[in-house]
Structure 1
Amino acid sequence: MSTTPVLVCVALFALVSVLGMLASRWRCADLSGIQEWGLAGQRFGTLMSWFLIGGDLYTAYTFVAVPALVFAAGAAGFFAIPYVAIAFPLGFLVLPRLWRAARQHGHVTVADFVEHRFESRALALGIALTGILATMPYIALQLVGVQVTLGALGFPTHGWRGELPLLVAFGVLGIYTWSSGLRAPAIIAVVKDLLIYTTVIGAIVVIPARLGGFGHMFQTLPAAKLLLKTPDATSLNGYSSYATLALGSALALLLYPHAMTATLASSSERVIRRNMALLPAYSLMLVFVALLGVMALSAGVGAMPEYAAQFKQYGPNFAVFALFQHFFPPWFTGIAFAAIGIGALVPAAIMSIAAANLFTRNVWRPFSARDCSAAQETRMAQKASLFVKFGALAFVLFVPVQFAIQLQLLGGIWITQTLPAVVLGLFVPSARARSVFAGLAAGLASGTWMVAQNGFRSASFTLHLAGVAVPAYAAVIALLVNVAVVLACSMRSAQSRTKGIQRDLQT
């Protein structure tokens, strides 16, 4: 364990902890109401929303997993670049309209909107439970990022000494989330984003120069990792997987409860439109983050004996940590590792608040406490937020990490199936709850079945069309099933109504 990186990380963690505790005093309001605790009173302007949504979507696991995927799989890891380019134009079309409906009717969650629009508590419950189930493994993966960071700093990752730092970090997270609600991660997101930009820009400037330039860096890569596998007469190979993974991920990105929560906390439709136009700046950062995987391949950190034990324990996830340890002085390594660690706490806080809002508004209140007061509702949300955080912590401590990754694969597929409820609810007045609910159930079942067919190891499923194998992201296939069922049920319902009208006219 090197003292300097540890001291830098501890100092920065202490700073964000103090900011989180003081956040309740920022734009003081009555935090006993869930609108203030869970959405910060919907008063975030363009700049704060930019930091909050960006800090929400670009997590510690993004910073670790994207370079790890490039390091392990090569060009396929760059799917993350086009998917964010697709996601924000879609958000520009959909999210301002959703915000307007939520503001008009006092909605706190997307399930509130669904219940009001379709007049169906069952459909709202389905949307809420899907969001909660998709969010839980996402929080667990943030903890995986923290765990790898602690291991890279030299802390033990097993036994009580390995569990204690995680318990302390999430204990502090639980305290400032309880006391300050969404204001805490919003303020901390500013620090987190500044640290990540500093880290990434430093890496882009220093490491390629040390490796002989970008041209030489790419020349050292194995040919198999430079390009996707070329299709042939019998299979589309990597092309269809890459395209559908980018599309499916784009559709899912802004549907996650934490993304919806950060969006609904904005002060106006104009703020959301500005952010959908400005947030692609994060896409540029994501390009740089993916390039860290190329740098790790070019530098050959996987073959360096001093990192052999860590790669054996963490696999490709350790690539970005080895890269910073190898090329930077200890003080800058401490900043980089702190950026990753804090990059886990911000989204984990927003995710826990979002899941708590869903549970409180769409599970607990309508089925157990219809006449609860605003203060009782907020107190339940605070308790649910703590339960979600420490449930995810227990998951990481006592369940193999691979299981969390498998559940996250399912989470992405599940959350995509909520798209028809949101889009049809906003843009198709004739859409009915029964059709949308049937589509949701069909999408969830088919998506889960496809991943189960792969032994929960992959979210890709191969279709055989006219003798050609077409590997595709299961979320996209399940969404097509979802939409087909919605259309079929809607047509059947329309036919039934037409026959009913004809009978009435004859009568």
Structure 2
Amino acid sequence: MNAQPVTVAVFVALFLLITGMGFRATRWRNKGKLTDLDEWALGGRTFGSFIVWFLLGGEIYTAYTIIALPAAVFSVGAFGFYALPYAALAYTMGFIALPKLVSLAHKNQYVTLTDFVNDRFQSNWLGLAVTITGLIALLPYIALQLVGLEVVFGALGIGGSSDNWLVKDAPLLIAFGVLAAYTYSAGLRAPALIAFVKDMLTYIVLIAAVIVIPIKLGGFGSIFERAAQASPTLTSESLVTSNPAIYLTTAIGSSLALFLYPHAVTGLFAARSPKVVRRNMSLLPINAVFMGIAALLGVMALAAGISPKDGNPQYAVPQLLIEMFPSWFVGVAFAALAMCALVPAAIMAIAAGNLVSRNLYRQFSRREISAASETLVSKVVSVFVKIGALVFVLTMDTTIAVNFQLLAGIWLLQILPTILTGLIGRYPTMSRALLSGLTVSVVYGTWAAYQVKTPDGAPFGGSTAPPFFLSTPIYIAVSALVVNLLVVAVVGALTWVTRSRNRDKVGLPVESAPATREVAGVERSVDPTASSS
């Protein structure tokens, strides 16, 4: 499958444009020093509603979304549309909870979600568990963005046909080098600026697709009729009769985890105020419409009789675009798909760097760490994270990345009880119960996912299975969350009883003298019994 020279020329021109924008971003809205982590990693916390709209859209709607979502509809049918209710649920819950999180982040200078956990629970072990969970969730996600970029290059027909690995992977190496360079130099400002172009081009492509392709295929009635013949699992009846519990729990579980991803938190903490976040949670559901259009591309590919390259359904959308649009517009569409990989990958790498520099390097260092040193470590880690993802993509089966991402989603949801408890107030005595719930649920979720077999008998064959308390299969992350809550309740109750008995024996209050905590490098006095925010 080789694209036309015009397609490649338009793609390269747009790629050079966004590269220039990435490097230009070092001087965009820069009122501070990029040696300060707040400036480099969070854009100085100055982004208003307009910028945050594109930034959050840029990190949530990824190449994995635009390519893999319609690929899921193409291969498994109507179940792929679970992304629509999950987006609506995520923004509704975000409207309720996220403004307070951002308000606390501004007040206490949080850079990561671990900063929030450390402040609210005074537990290095719980904070470390949240840090590791966040890092594990990010690494395969970055790799999957590069997989999406590899699909774009494969559809363009550049690189992959050579026997020489250097020539074969040259486009991906060049794109990686450019991404690493402008992320290192400009920080969050680079993906924030590029997100404008990325989202606008994506909107244009999706709107054009939902207008032009139905005209060419004889209307939506014809599209759904032909697609249903090609895929019996595409009808709503098949979805209901197969297992509605899987559909429902996958949508709910995915929505609960969406804003727990470290890169989503990075975008939120860059907002100028909680009001900006609340306004975006009200308006971002508009993007769910475009997600629905993206899912429809999988239906259109079925109706058009697309036969994906090498049997890989991820090529369904690129091949559909090549067949339905003129060469120059295909170049625009492929540039949009490439940016859907580059923008989120940049934000994810920044988020990973923040976790390492802030919550491993600074938090566990025995010497005083300067702001410039902390930022430098974050920059370097962001590059090495991309190198790791690149090596993973070039040397290993992408199925492994998908399996790790499956596990990452299961694990990440397990920090939800910690975050919700922290939003209610400061409860240091709950740290042991929350850590126990997180640990047990991660082990249980991993074991349950391992038990799901692929058709050839390999482990990690899916993300749904019957939990120990039901006979019906559901999303494993949700069943693990139930285990999590049960453990938190039991350990929390035992901790309370033990502390009460100890208090009665010695005749002392439950808590001793106020402890101290460090937030953004400043030591403050804390009353451990306080539960106010």
Scaled by the length of structure 1, what TM-score is found? 0.94
In the TM superposition, residue 369 of structure 1 has moved relative to its aligned partner by: 5.4
Q: Distance in 2 between matches of 1:404 and 1:275?
A: 31
- Counterpart of 1:27? 29
In the TM superposition, residue 429 of structure 1 has moved relative to its aligned partner by: 4.2
**CA distance 1:230–1:60, change in 2 (3 Å):** closer
Q: Distance in 2 between matches of 1:345 and 1:230?
A: 34
Which of 59, 73, 76 is 1:73 aligned to? Answer: 76
Q: Distance in 2 between matches of 1:451 and 1:7?
A: 44
Q: Distance in 2 between matches of 1:398 and 1:379?
A: 29
Q: Contact 1:57/1:347 (CA < 8 Å) preserved in 2?
A: yes
**CA distance 1:449–1:3, change in 2 (3 Å):** same
In the TM superposition, residue 464 of structure 1 has moved relative to its aligned partner by: 6.5
What is the CA deviation profile of residues 90-139 of structure 1, one whole-angstrom value per residue up to 9, with x for unaligned ones?
Answer: 11111111111111111100101101110011111110111011000000
Q: Distance in 1 between matches of 2:119 and 2:94?
A: 21
In the TM superposition, residue 448 of structure 1 has moved relative to its aligned partner by: 0.8
1:83 aligns to 2:86 (yes or no):
yes
Q: Distance in 2 between matches of 1:228 and 1:155?
A: 42
1:366 aligns to 2:363 (yes or no):
yes
- Counterpart of 1:463? 467
In the TM superposition, residue 409 of structure 1 has moved relative to its aligned partner by: 0.4
- Counterpart of 2:248? 243
Q: Contact 2:62/2:344 (CA < 8 Å) preserved in 1?
A: yes
Which secondary structure does the structure 2 equivalent of 1:290 belong to?
A: helix
Q: Contact 1:33/1:375 (CA < 8 Å) preserved in 2?
A: yes
1:437 aligns to 2:441 (yes or no):
no
User: Pairwise mapping of residues 12-411 of structure 1 onto structure 2 (< 5 A)?
Assistant: 12-28=14-30, 29-157=32-160, 159-220=165-226, 221-222=228-229, 223-227=232-236, 229=238, 237-302=242-307, 310-312=309-311, 315-368=312-365, 370-411=367-408
What is the CA deviation profile of residues 376-409 of structure 1, one whole-angstrom value per residue up to 9, with x for unaligned ones?
Answer: 1101110000000111001100111110111110
Please list every run of at least 4 consecutive aligned residues from structure 1 whose deviation after the TM superposition is greater than 6 angstroms.
none
Q: Contact 2:159/2:170 (CA < 8 Å) preserved in 1?
A: no
- Counterpart of 2:528? none
Q: Distance in 2 between matches of 1:168 and 1:506?
A: 65
- Counterpart of 1:4? 6
- Counterpart of 2:531? none
Deviates more, 1:476-485 or 1:154-163: 154-163
Q: Distance in 2 between matches of 1:419 and 1:411?
A: 14
What is the CA deviation profile of residues 239-292 of structure 1, one whole-angstrom value per residue up to 9, with x for unaligned ones?
Answer: 111111101110111110000000000000000000000100110000100000
Q: Distance in 2 between matches of 1:181 and 1:156?
A: 29
Deviates more, 1:121-130 or 1:266-275: 121-130
One-letter amino acid of the counterpart of residue 58, structure 1: Y
One-letter amino acid of the counterpart of residue 278, structure 1: L
One-letter amino acid of the counterpart of residue 186, structure 1: A
In the TM superposition, residue 505 of structure 1 has moved relative to its aligned partner by: 5.3
Higher helix share: 1
Q: Distance in 2 between matches of 1:258 and 1:157?
A: 30
In the TM superposition, residue 463 of structure 1 has moved relative to its aligned partner by: 3.3
In the TM superposition, residue 368 of structure 1 has moved relative to its aligned partner by: 2.9
- Counterpart of 2:530? none
- Counterpart of 1:487? 489
**CA distance 1:52–1:506, change in 2 (3 Å):** closer
In the TM superposition, residue 461 of structure 1 has moved relative to its aligned partner by: 1.1
Which secondary structure does the structure 2 equivalent of 1:209 belong to?
A: helix
Q: Contact 2:120/2:425 (CA < 8 Å) preserved in 1?
A: no
What is the CA deviation profile of residues 35-87 of structure 1, one whole-angstrom value per residue up to 9, with x for unaligned ones?
Answer: 11011110000000000001100001100001000001111000000000100
One-letter amino acid of the counterpart of residue 205, structure 1: I
In the TM superposition, residue 218 of structure 1 has moved relative to its aligned partner by: 1.1
5+ residue gaps, structure 2 = 453-458, 510-533
Identity score, percent: 45
One-letter amino acid of the counterpart of residue 283, structure 1: A
The number of residues matched between the two structures is 493
**CA distance 1:370–1:239, change in 2 (3 Å):** farther
1:446 aligns to 2:444 (yes or no):
yes
What is the CA deviation profile of residues 318-351 of structure 1, one whole-angstrom value per residue up to 9, with x for unaligned ones?
Answer: 1101110111010011111110011100000000
One-letter amino acid of the counterpart of residue 500, structure 1: N
Which secondary structure does the structure 1 equivalent of 2:272 belong to?
A: coil
Which secondary structure does the structure 2 equivalent of 1:469 belong to?
A: coil
Q: Contact 1:263/1:272 (CA < 8 Å) preserved in 2?
A: yes
What is the CA deviation profile of residues 193-228 of structure 1, one whole-angstrom value per residue up to 9, with x for unaligned ones?
Answer: 011001000000000111111112112213432135
Q: Contact 2:262/2:352 (CA < 8 Å) preserved in 1?
A: yes
Q: Distance in 2 between matches of 1:45 and 1:112?
A: 23
Scaled by the length of structure 2, what TM-score is found? 0.90
5+ residue gaps, structure 1 = none
